[in-house]
Chain A
Amino acid sequence: IAGITQAPTSQILAAGRRMTLRCTQDMRHNAMYWYRQDLGLGLRLIHYSNTAGTTGKGEVPDGYSVSRANTDDFPLTLASAVPSQTSVYFCASSDSGTSGNYNEQFFGPGTRLTVL
């Protein structure tokens, strides 16, 4: 693995179903993020984690949950998918997350999710 990987690449999901998007990084970055990107809107932060064992809510957290059991993995779960969650989801990581040291974020290739 080099960088950040996401799985699946794309998914079509029936409304009401549970879905977990996977994200793994091998850069040993302490901070990880989940964004959604919709046409005409900027990237919107769903949840983030500054370090393993901690998570925080972003701008649009409702309907999503995350966990950070270790440094490398940061899965995003939709407990009961709704059509408004149709979007492209990007996972990102950075060697920062604490004040006074902000570095660039590296992005995974994205997951295109369609909820019908």
Chain B
Amino acid sequence: GQNIDQPTEMTATEGAIVQINCTYQTSGFNGLFWYQQHAGEAPTFLSYNVLDGLEEKGRFSSFLSRSKGYSYLLLKELQMKDSASYLCAVVDSNYQLIWGAGTKLIIKP
């Protein structure tokens, strides 16, 4: 079967750095997405990785290792508005998105 694993919940302090991990086992791989979802709102796109390595975009970075079936989202200089759920999703061999259950990130002052 296909599986995406993320921690259910994480807590971090305002101004700090947090890394949210995602491991996957899917039938084929055609890229990995990270989305942010604030409570009661729709998911919004953060990043897309299809090649190994680190993609940096402002305070957010995303890393991919295809050989390990592993990705992480790195958030720097945390702000209270970063409190949200972070969803990892993999594009499988049929070009369908397989979604993880999401990681709820709680930021404390």
Contacts and interface: CB of A to CB of B under 8 A. Distances in A.
Contacts of B97: 43, 45, 105
A102 B101 contact: no
B30 A102 contact: yes
Contacts of A108: 42
A99 B42 contact: no
Contacts of B4: 42
Q: Pick the most buried of B30, B31, B48, B99: most chain A CB atoms within 10 A of its CB.
A: B99
A60 to B, nearest CB: 12
A34 interface: no
A77 B96 CA distance: 22
Interface string A25-55: 0000000000000001111110010000000
Given A44-B99, A107-B43, 11 more contacts: A40-B8, A40-B101, A41-B101, A42-B4, A42-B87, A42-B99, A42-B100, A43-B43, A43-B89, A104-B45, A107-B44
Interface of B: 4, 8, 30-31, 33, 41-45, 48, 87, 89, 91, 95-102
